[in-house]
Amino acid sequence: MNSISQTIKLILISTVGLVALTYFTVDAPVKVEKKVIVLKNLPKTVELLGYDDRQFSTNSIIKEGVIIFVGNHESIAVSNKLEEMLNLPKGMFVIVSNVSDSPWFIKRWQAYSKNEQLKGDNNLPWIYDKNGAMRNFLQVPTSDAVKYFIYKVKNDKTIEKVYTGKVPVGTIDGSISDKKMEKNLKSVLDALN
């Protein structure tokens, strides 16, 4: 009987500790202000996936003509397929992992390693937006795991959201076939043309 009460105490203390850790490490959401998105207001630097804690100049990555894919936990899984379908010149497709609402330990271990796995050997610019600077700049309305957003940098140096998409739950685990993924992404191609 004594070991059961100790086990219950340990579970209770662990649960309270995990909740407290999550509560104290999650940043308060920034209020998104609706305005024209202009290149000159880009965050100065971003972290690229595969370059731990190194900062890169954002304006060397995001420039006129670039298509920006902003994905969350589930939807990020379709980013490589979309890039393949668009067949753009190197550097003209940028992926942004929208992970800023996740607790720091999820951002650092689970989300980062899953994004690295998805990226593989691909040389795409893949922004790991752990501080939310790109999300706030692009005025991404939600961090819903199944939603993704497509932006286009126009010639007048403004950025326009051209598409909002959604993937089925389980996409990150490979539960969607390539054929269904292509069908889902076909509407993105139509929106960009």
Q: Give the model's pLDDT for residue 128.
A: 85
Return the H-helix or E-strand segment holding 158: strand 158-166
Q: Give the model's pLDDT for residue 25.
A: 64
Give the integer Cα–Cα distance in Å for 4 and 12: 12
pLDDT digits (tens), the chain, 193 positions: 678 888 888 888 888 887 776 666 665 555 666 788 999 999 999 988 877 778 899 988 999 999 999 998 888 889 888 999 999 998 899 999 876 666 555 556 566 666 666 666 677 898 888 888 899 999 998 888 889 999 999 999 999 999 999 998 888 787 788 888 888 888 888 888 8
Structural contact between residues 128 and 51, judged by C-beta atoms closer than 8 angstroms: no
Return the H-helix or E-strand segment holding 15: helix 2-25
**What predicted TM-score, i.e. pTM, was given to this entire model?**
0.78
The class level of CATH for 30-192 reads alpha beta
Handedness of CA 31, 42, 74, 173 (dihedral sign): negative
C-alpha distances out from residue 116 to 36, 68, 112, 142, Å: 32, 18, 6, 23
Q: Give the model's pLDDT for residue 20.
A: 76
Give the integer Cα–Cα distance in Å for 186 and 69: 15
| Angle of the 178-192 helix axis to the 79-86 helix axis, nearest 10 | 60
Give the integer Cα–Cα distance in Å for 184 and 193: 16
Q: Where are the domains of the chain?
A: 30-192
